[in-house]
Chains A and B, each alone.
Chain A
Amino acid sequence: MSDAILSLRGVKTDIAQYHILQGVDLDVPRGQVTMLLGRNGVGKTTTLRTIMGHWRARAGTIRLDGDDIAQAPTPAIARRGVGYVPENMGIFSDLTVEENMTLAAASGPLERERLEWIFGAFPALRTFWRSEAGNLSGGQKQMLSIARAMAEERKLYLIDEPTKGLAPAIVSTMAGALRDLKRRGASILLVEQNFSVARALGDRAAVMDDGRIVWTGEMAELAGDAALQERLMGLSMETA
């Protein structure tokens, strides 16, 4: 993959004494949505946290636009244009929605136009702009978490299970926002358990098992092959 914005080679990450990532090789092509799939506990979140520098890779390289960031500090990685939506959303509950967004625009004030785009995708954030983020519903918190990643121009988005635990109506709002992001040419690495969302958004897919990538290919190929899904993820997601 020559035009990969992000490229992991042989990445190994330990948490305490456990070898969680055991040599991850992964490419995220520029301007595409790459789905990171796999059973629970196989290391998807750990992969994203390692890219962000929250966990330190013990071995391997992580290239962002060609530069190895495997040993870079988290703030430096973020400043290179990586927007991160963590699995637990990472909302600052005691701060208002506005304050959360103000912080998210780290390199300057929020642009009006960008804010309108975000409000268009997530009208609830306009409504609750001055409210404490801790008082938002689960779905609204998830929207805020994604909106924070959208608060500035980013090279790459790392998004961890944005539809986890959400009602179907909100899942479709979320999927709509991600589709919009994709239309604007964003490069996205997306962890998603909801298969219909994954199928609708994904260009490429990478499937993890036990700390390694065990399959990569076109999302459409995986979506159309129930036996392959069964083998890689232990269930056919065709029915999901």
Chain B
Amino acid sequence: MTAAPDHAPTLSGPGLKDRLGQAAPLLLVPVLVVLGYLSIGSTSSWLTLTVSGLAMGMMIFIMASGLTLVFGLMDVINFGHGAFISVGAFVGISVVLALSGWAGAPSLALNLGAIALAVIAAMAVTAVLGWAFERVIVRPVYGAHLKQILVTVGGLIVIEQLIHVIWGPDEIFLTRPESLKGAITFAGAALERYRILAVVFGLALFLAMRLVLRRTKIGLIVRAGVQNGEMVEALGYRLRLVFVGVFVAGSALAGLGGVMWGLYQEVVTAGMGEEMMILVFIVVIIGGLGSVEGAFIGALLVGLLQNYVAFLAPKLALVSNIGLLTLILLWRPQGMMPVVKAK
């Protein structure tokens, strides 16, 4: 970046009201956590549910982050994104099963090694798959939303069927590696180790992504491209290339989310990605299309709400997220952190 000016900038900046408005979405997560505490009443249950909700939120965020940028950059609606989640899960779980010696050993290093290899394999396969998907399926239908929906749903079905062909028609069960089983007790609450790991990992990934988007030139191009792709091209950058890169990275992240989700549920099915896509779309929409920060907050809200409601009123668990979607869109029709489109 360039040198700072010699004297301090003195922009009075947005007024207090504007700034509160910008910060409001950030407050929603703590507000929901406090509301959860008040309605649940028991500290230990609340703590367990909160960690579980945050873990779920982090995994949904990982799945959603690429999708929101893909939409923001090129206005592409990709229903096929769920296929990357499933494929990532199957590839990752196959690696974990193949390395059962490592995964079953009572050694943290070997366990994590098995998971690391599973993640690398899943991300590599879904990255290549994403690249092919963009070339073959998405590229011919730029600018045509209806066609995008049709062909990407078609692509999703084809890939799901391919999973059946390769891995057989049944779901695959697995158990998590030794050291990620079980829970630790904290303040009387049982906190599953895997969930804590998922929270820490998800948070680190989000911060890394933010750093790339804010501090690197490629990140600047992506953020600018979401606002005004035409102008980015007029400055000499090949937006198509950037878009393909984001599509591939987003597919790999979906694959990563798939592995994490598979290990979380300890079962994988060809349809799991498709099922997750409902939550992923909710998160992308309430976050504001094209906003990674918005998707992050949206994912945490969805994860927490799902867990709190499942405990408090199990029958409402399914509709709670639709309720959240409705409320947020009534409040902010463009999502919590809409990207300013300059078109």
Contact = CB atoms under 8 A, between A and B. Distances in A.
Interface of A: 52, 54, 73-75, 78-79, 84, 86, 88, 90-95, 98-104, 106-107, 109-110, 112, 115, 119, 126-131, 134-135, 148
B16 to A, nearest CB: 14
B9 A131 contact: yes
Contact of A110 (B2, B9, B231): B2
A157 to B, nearest CB: 12
Contacts of B217: 102-103
B224 interface: yes
B236 A129 contact: no
Interface string B1-45: 111111101110110000000000000000000000000000000
A92 B228 contact: yes
Contacts, number: 98
Interface in B206-260: 217, 220-221, 223-224, 227-228, 230-239
B340 interface: yes
A103 B220 contact: yes
Given A75-B236, A75-B238, A148-B235, A93 B227 contact: yes
B330 interface: no
Main SS at interface, chain B? loop
Contacts of B10: 127
Contacts of B340: 93-94, 134
B166 interface: no
Contact of B234 (A52, A131, A135): A52
B227 to A, nearest CB: 5
B339 interface: yes
Nearest to A88: B342
Given A54-B230, A74-B233, A107-B236, A95 B13 contact: no
B234 A95 contact: no
A75 B221 CA distance: 13
A127 B235 contact: no
Given A90-B228, A134-B340, A75 B5 contact: no
A3 to B, nearest CB: 25
Nearest to B11: A131
B4 A129 contact: yes
Given A98-B2, A103-B221, A128 B9 contact: yes
Given A95-B220, A95-B224, A90 B2 contact: no
